[in-house]
Amino acid sequence: MKLLKNVKLLENEQLVDKEILFDDQQILKIDDHIDAEEAQIIDGKGYTLLPGLIDVHVHLREPGYEYKETIDTGTMAAAAGGFTTIMAMPNVIPYPDNVETMKQYMDKIQHDAHVHVIPYATITRQEAGKEVVDMEAFTKMDIHAFSDDGVGVQNDDIMREAMKKSHDLHTMIVAHTEDMQYRKEGACVHAGSEAYDRHWIGIPSECEWKQLERDLQLVEETGAHYHCCHVSAKESVQLLEEYKKKGCDVSGEVTAHHLLLNEHDVVGPNWKMNPPLRGEKDRQALINGLKSGALTLIANDHAPHSQEEKQRPMDKAPFGIVSLETAFPLLYSRLVCAGEITLSQLVYWMSEAPAKRFGMQKKGVLQEGYASDMILVDLDEEYIINRDRFYSKGKNTPFHGWRVKGRIKKTIVDGTIIYEEDKE
C-alpha cells in the first residue's frame, strides 16, 4: 500500500487538502488524514491530484511505422502528458482486422506499453471499405470498438452492414467521417479565405459533415452505438445535437488543436492535420458544443511523423500533429485560466467522459474503489513547450515555444509511479 500525503483534490471547483491510500488495483481510502503505518509514504508537495487522463484517439504507429513512433515511446509520451489510458487506432501494418493479428498486437502492447492501451479493431478488412470484419470474433477477445480511422467508409451499404452487426453485438462504431468526393488531390487546409489568399487547395467542411450526416441517418435506422472522431465543423456539432435530441446513441470528440487554433494560425506543415483547422466560427462552435453536451469528450488524435516527412511542401507533407504531451497544459492555460471553461469541466471531458462513453469500468474518477490511475499536477508552474524534450519520436507540433501552465509532475498507473518530471 501507498499513502499519498500533502495533495489537493478538486471538489466543487475548490482545491481541498486530502490524503489518498491506494494499492496496485484501486484507491482504498480518501480522507483529510489517514493512519496507515504499513504504507509507503509519498509526499505530494502540495500539488493537485487528478484522475489519470484518458485519450480515445491515439496513433502509436507500431507495427509498420516504427520510425514515426513505437508503443514504447508513444505510451511514455502519454504518461508524460498525464494520460494513464489510451486507445490505439488500427491503421498500422498489418491491420488488426483478424483475431490472430490482434492477438500478436495485444501481446506487443502488453510487453512494451507504460500505460493502459486499448486497441481498436478495424471496421473493414485492411480499412479498404469493402468487407466488414468478423466483429463477433473480436468481442470474444474483449475488443468492443471498431474504427477505420484515417479514411471514411465511403460505401453506404458497407457502413449499414457494419452498424447492424455492431448493434447486435453491443459494440461501438468509431468513425472518421470524410466524403472523398469533396477532397481534391493536394488539399491541405480548410477551404476558407486563408487557402484562397495563399493559393492552397482547401478541404471544405462538407467533406466532414456530409458523411457524418449519412452516418447519423444510418444510426437512426440501425440503432448502432456511434462515435465521431475529431469533429471540426460547426455543421457537425449541429448534426450531433440534432440526433442526440432524437434519442440516437451518438457522441463526438474534439481535439485540443481544433479548440485552440483556426485557419488563420496555419504557418506550414506542422499546422496541417485532417480534418484541418477551420474558421473561427467553427472553433467557437466546438467550445460551445462541449459546454452544451453536443460534443462528449476531448481526444487528441496524436499523429507522429518524422521530421523529414513534415519538411516536405505543404501539399506533400502528411496530415497530423503530436499532442499527448501538450494537450492538458495547453487547454488548462488557454481555456481554464482564461475563464472560458472550469477545471472541473476540463478534467471531466478528459477523464470521466471518455471512460463513461467507452465503458471503462472504475476509471476516470478519483473515488474509493476506482482504479489507482492518477496524476499530480502543478497548476501554477509555467514553462515553455519544447519539442526537443518530447518522449514521442514525433516533433511535429504547432505549439513549440508556447508558454503554458499546468506541469505534469507524476503519473501513477496501477499504483506505480511510471513518470516523474523531477527525474527527467
Cβ count within 10 A of residue 418: 17
Give 11's strand partners: 14
- CA-closest candidate to residue 249, choices 218, 211, 275: 218
Judge whether 295 and 286 are in contact, CB under 8 Å.
yes
Sequence-distant (≥ 6) Cβ neighbours of residue 345 within 8 angstroms: 290, 291
**φ and ψ at residue 247, rounded to 5 degrees:** 95, 10
* DSSP state letters, 226-278: EEE-S---HHHHHHHHHHHHTT--EEEEE-HHHHH--GGG--SGGG--SSPP-
Coil, helix or strand at residue 58: strand
Cβ count within 10 A of residue 130: 12
Residue from 301, 315, 378, 414 carrying the catalytic annotation: 301
Coil, helix or strand at residue 80: helix
Q: Which residue has the cell 519539442?
A: 387
Taking the C-alpha atoms of residue 42 and residue 79, their distance in angstroms, rounded to an integer, is 19
Instruction: Let me know if 301 is a catalytic residue.
Output: yes
Check residue 389 and report its DSSP letter. G
Residues with active-site annotation: 301
